[in-house]
């Protein structure tokens, strides 16, 4: 896919977003529910965010979880509060998710008017707006048709799976009313997503001297997973690898590259190698021109703004390296158009009954899965949210 595609898409997004004004028909909106982990928008929200995170057994299984989770959150809060203060006083993930959702739904009204008007709803797993709050808003709005659209491009039971489990619990409890559901559960090789990432890498490459540009190492960095999750058959590592391969195909394999992993928590074994260790290893090998690419994050938050931009950049400079980070997708018109295209195709195929409420891949549990909620959730969504 060429750069000309990106500029054409950018003009198209701006034109549609400016000209298209959905008519007010009183029709119940088609809800596009954007699922993500979220982040505290202000520093004082940090403790609640951490407590919710450590309470999630789908992400971090703990013995005596209800007792230990608040204690761990309390112990970690001062350190994490400082990190959020260092990146401007909170996570911008809600701001960017709302921006992406608004742009996507403006385009959707144009691309698939049969299901218009489309309305974005943000459902965060650990921060406001939490899934429970979003469920109440959807019920108040009289929503009858909804798409659960994960904002994790690559599927993992600990991320998308956890969000879907929570949505299932709220739906089964009747907190959202009678809604017909379908799910977009993964999209890590969609051409629009790949194009948006590739364009940001090209912009970062342009910061290096042209004579050295082809030797720059591209380090794709994704959030790591505990090996206990990987070893039960979680597809995340495979799907992140597929995204990386698609991006490098788009770039014509112009540079050496590696996929590395960040944000390990605790002493247990996690997927590696870790991003920080890779930076040190490259410096030791004399590879001192590097681009960091957040391949599993679609907007800036603490993992990009603090871990990549502050921690790893500092380490690299101390090692005499020239490091740059490819920008996150944030307000990229190419990316917003990709979100709209993914959703429009899903709605089109679902209306034509060429697909069901869930993908074939979503129906398969991990071979080592022992989480009964996971199986119940998959069955519920496969029936369009009908018990």
CB 152 within 8 A of CB 159: yes
Residue in 262, 245, 247, 263 with CA at minimum distance from that of residue 204 = 247
Question: Catalytic residue at 190?
Answer: yes
Residue 184, strand partner residues: 149
Residue in 32, 203, 10 with CA at minimum distance from that of residue 115 = 32
Render 3-47 in DSSP notation, one character per residue.
Answer: HHHHHHHHHHHHHHHHH-------PPPEEEEEEE----SSGGGHH
Please enumerate in sequence order all residues whose Cβ is within 8 A of that of 130, keeping only pairs 6 or more positions apart, or say none.
38, 52, 123, 124
Report the C-alpha gap between 189 and 376 in whole angstroms: 28
Report the C-alpha gap between 89 and 360 in whole angstroms: 42
Which of 118, 234, 341, 346 does the annotation list as catalytic? 341
Chain centroid, CA 61 distance in Å: 21
CB 218 within 8 A of CB 278: no
CB atoms within 10 A of CB 165: 23
Report the C-alpha gap between 331 and 234 in whole angstroms: 30
Please enumerate in sequence order all residues whose Cβ is within 8 A of that of 123, keeping only pairs 6 or more positions apart, or say none.
33, 34, 35, 36, 129, 130, 131, 134, 135, 163, 166, 167
User: Which helix (H) or strand (E) covers residue 221, if one does?
Assistant: strand 217-223
Which of 112, 190, 223, 324 does the annotation list as catalytic? 190
Q: Which residues are catalytic?
A: 190, 341
């Amino acid at each position: 896919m060429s750069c000309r595609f990106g500029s054409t898409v950018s003009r198209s997004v701006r034109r549609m977003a400016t000209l298209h004004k959905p008519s007010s028909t009183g029709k119940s909106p088609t809800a596009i529910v954007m699922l993500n982990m979220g982040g505290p928008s202000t520093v004082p929200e940090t403790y609640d965010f951490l407590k919710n995170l450590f309470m999630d057994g789908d992400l971090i299984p703990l013995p005596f979880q209800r007792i230990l989770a608040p204690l761990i959150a309390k112990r970690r809060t001062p350190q994490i509060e400082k990190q959020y203060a260092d990146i401007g006083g909170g996570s911008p993930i809600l701001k960017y998710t709302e921006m992406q959702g608004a742009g996507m739904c403006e385009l959707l009204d144009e691309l698939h008017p049969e299901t218009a008007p489309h309305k974005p709803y943000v459902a965060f797993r650990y921060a406001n707006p939490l899934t429970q709050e979003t469920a109440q808003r959807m019920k108040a709005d009289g929503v009858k048709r909804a798409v659960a659209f994960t904002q994790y491009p690559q599927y993992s039971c600990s991320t998308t799976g956890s969000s879907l489990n929570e949505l299932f619990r709220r739906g089964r409890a009747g907190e959202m009313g009678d809604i017909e559901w379908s799910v977009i559960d993964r999209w890590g090789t969609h051409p629009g997503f790949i194009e948006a990432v590739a364009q940001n890498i090209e912009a970062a490459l342009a910061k290096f001297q042209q004579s050295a540009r082809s030797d720059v190492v591209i380090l794709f960095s994704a959030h790591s997973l505990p090996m206990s999750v990987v070893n039960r058959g979680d597809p995340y590592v495979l799907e992140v690898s597929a995204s990386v391969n698609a991006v490098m195909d788009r770039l014509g394999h112009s540079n050496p590259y590696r996929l590395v992993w960040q944000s390990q928590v605790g002493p247990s074994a996690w997927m590696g190698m870790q991003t920080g260790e890779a930076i040190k290893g490259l410096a030791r090998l004399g590879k001192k021109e590097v681009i960091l690419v957040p391949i599993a994050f679609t907007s800036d938050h603490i993992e990009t703004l603090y871990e990549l931009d502050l921690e790893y950049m500092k380490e690299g400079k101390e090692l005499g390296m020239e490091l740059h980070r490819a920008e996150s997708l944030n307000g990229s018109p190419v990316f917003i158009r990709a979100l709209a295209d993914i959703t429009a195709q899903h709605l089109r195929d679902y209306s034509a009954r060429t697909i069901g409420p869930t993908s074939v891949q979503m129906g398969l549990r991990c071979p080592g899965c022992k989480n009964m909620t996971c199986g119940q959730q998959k069955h519920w969504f496969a029936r369009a949210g009908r018990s």
